Amino acid sequence: MAYLDNSATTQPCASAIDAMVRCMREGFYNPSSVYRPAVDAFRAVRDCHELLLRAVHGENCDLIFTSGGTEANNLAILGAVHRMRGPQVVAVSAVEHPSVREAFEQLRAEGHDVRVIGVDPQGALNWEQLERALDDGASLVSCMQVNNETGALLDAARLHRTVNGRALIHVDGVQGFLRVPFEMKYADMYTLSGHKIHGPKGIGALIVKKGVRLAPRQIGGGQESGMRSGTENTPGIAGLRAAAEELMRMQSTLGAELMQKKLHLIEAFRRAVPELLINGPESELAAPHIVNISFPGVRGEVMLHALEAEGVYASTGSACSSKKLKVSGVLTAMGIRPDRAEWALRFSLSPHTTIEEIDDAAEKLGAIYATLKRFKRR
């Protein structure tokens, strides 16, 4: 088997699984209770808070645990705007994840002025469009750190300089956290998710600069400083902490190792299919773990299932929308031709992806493409 769909989800690492089991067996206490074992559970939650903040240099920030990236994005976007007075001008890039895109569609339905900021064929923001939105009074700007389909990187420093304090900046870091460095000096809010970094599903977080005001989306007992009520998911938090610790120990070499694997994949796939086309930025200028490839004349969905039959797993795009869309809206927004977009597959790697998996996938890919391209539609 070659699992090359790590942007959809990752396999939980052994340390995360062990931490969760230990928490459920021994540390199951409610962190809001006042006796000693519960206080220990509270301290474990607090320690994870501090670890995640350190990972993004968030010394002047708070952290709110959520059920994952979608809830964190919703809390950031809807929570921020709902604390503002009157209709707002808000800006979002054209290539966002559905959890961001749909939140802005809800704001549009509520009467807010949503400006969609275009991107170029490399996935970079149209800075002139953003500047116009800011000149018109935009109060919130939302962009993803790493595009989940192409690996295009946000120029967070330029975004911060361009906004220059005129609006809140939300960065969806779900595909970037701990794989591409980030510092909270460039954003007011930052989203992360456990299952993208070899932790469990059902846990994520929103990091928020102190002083940023949000309207809670979930009310009740007042947990997470009143921003996300509900008894904390302590096993999920334990797993997230263990997974984050493991990736943080790899930080000095992780990016280079992932990039080496990605470049090897591209080279091996190109030998197997010389006609292939890379969508998005130059490979070495993109995130080290994601590459989007079109195989001319073969629909991505057909290629996906042919690879699956041989034990190779990839994706046609965002796992949250791949069952709904025939052609990627992200690729279309980048100006990629509809037929080329229809041929596209995303391959995404992890620290645990092996060169042997990649070579096995390349060998199978070559044979599959040679067969399928004979049936190219006229």
Question: Which active-site residues does the annotation give?
Answer: 320
The span from the CA of 361 to the CA of 1, in Å, is 8
Cα 116 to Cα 114: distance, rounded to the nearest angstrom: 6
Cα–Cα distance measured from residue 74 to residue 243, given in angstroms and rounded to the nearest whole number: 24
Query: If phi over 0 gives left and psi between -120 and 50 gives alpha, with beta otherwise, what is residue 57?
Result: left
In degrees and rounded to multiples of 5, residue 182 shows phi and psi of -150, 145
Q: Give the span between the Cα atoms of 299 and 327, in whole angstroms.
A: 10
Instruction: Give the contacts of 211 (CB within 8 A, at least 6 positions apart).
Output: none
Whether 278 contacts 269, CB under 8 Å: no
Beta carbons within 10 angstroms of residue 284's beta carbon: 9
Structure tokens at 309: 């039959």
Helices (H), the chain: 14-26, 36-55, 69-81, 98-109, 127-135, 156-163, 234-249, 251-272, 300-309, 329-333, 338-342, 355-372
- Which phi and psi angles does 284 have, rounded to 5°? -80, -5
> What SS3 state is found at 152?
coil
- Provide the residue type at 20 as one letter: M
Compute the distance between CA of residue 173 and CA of residue 339 in angstroms, rounded to an integer.
Answer: 30
Cα-only R_g, the chain: 21
DSSP 8-class letter at 212: -
Q: How far is CA 352 from CA 15, 134, 194, 349, in A?
A: 14, 42, 16, 8
Are 278 and 291 a contacting pair, CB within 8 Å? yes
Tokens of 257: 């190792």
